[in-house]
């Protein structure tokens, strides 16, 4: 089986980190994004989209079926980046926060939808949500009910440990 793996570190993560999280310098940088009409998570989603475009420019990877993987806040960034990229065939999201009150932060997103509705937008593509315990599974009842109503099979919610 041919398989390729690419790790993407959007701005402020890994080698592109500008300061220790929560430090004074980190707060100063994060406060600048709303002045530009953006949020850090919005810019990270853009970085992921540009990484997808760069990968698809590689001749060997053009026929590849892309799966985006993310954990916690990065799961939300991966989800939103993939919603706007038709080449993304599947999502593997670990411990996605069930509401935008927790993460990711996008300007005015809660006026329109919350995380369960964003997950539903990814359907009929394959979406696998890994949650901590059965109680967390109930947060995803809305997209599961929608999937049942439309007769789809793309969304799977798995209960896993930390």
Helix (H) or strand (E) run with residue 78 in it: helix 73-83
The rounded Cα 21 to chain-centroid distance in angstroms is: 20
Q: What are phi and psi of 126, to 5 degrees?
A: -75, 125
Q: pLDDT, tens digit, for every residue of 73-102?
A: 999 999 999 999 999 999 999 999 999 999
Q: pLDDT, tens digit, for every residue of 123-137?
A: 999 999 999 877 678
Q: How high is the mean pLDDT in each 10-residue block of the chain (162 residues)?
A: 84 87 88 90 95 92 89 96 95 95 92 95 93 82 90 88 63
Residue 119 contacts residue 99 (beta carbons within 8 Å): no
Tokens of 143: 């997209």
Tokens of 36: 């530009």
How far apart CA 145 and CA 133 sit, in angstroms, is 19
Give the dihedral sign, CA 100/142/94/118. Answer: negative
């Amino acid at each position: 089986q041919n398989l390729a793996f690419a790790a993407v570190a959007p701005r402020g993560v890994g080698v592109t980190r500008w300061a220790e999280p929560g430090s004074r310098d980190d707060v100063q940088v994060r406060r600048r994004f709303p002045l530009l009409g953006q949020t850090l998570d919005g810019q990270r989603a853009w970085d992921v989209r540009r990484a997808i475009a760069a990968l698809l420019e590689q001749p060997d990877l053009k026929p590849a079926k892309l799966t985006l993987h993310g954990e916690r806040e990065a799961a939300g960034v991966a989800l939103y980046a993939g919603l706007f990229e038709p080449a993304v065939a599947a999502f593997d999201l670990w411990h996605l926060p069930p509401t935008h009150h927790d993460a990711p932060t996008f300007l005015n997103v809660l006026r329109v939808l919350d995380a369960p509705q964003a997950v539903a937008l990814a359907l009929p593509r394959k979406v696998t949500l890994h949650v901590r315990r059965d109680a967390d599974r109930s947060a995803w009842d809305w997209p599961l009910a929608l999937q049942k109503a439309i007769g789809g099979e793309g969304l799977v919610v798995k209960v896993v440990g930390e």
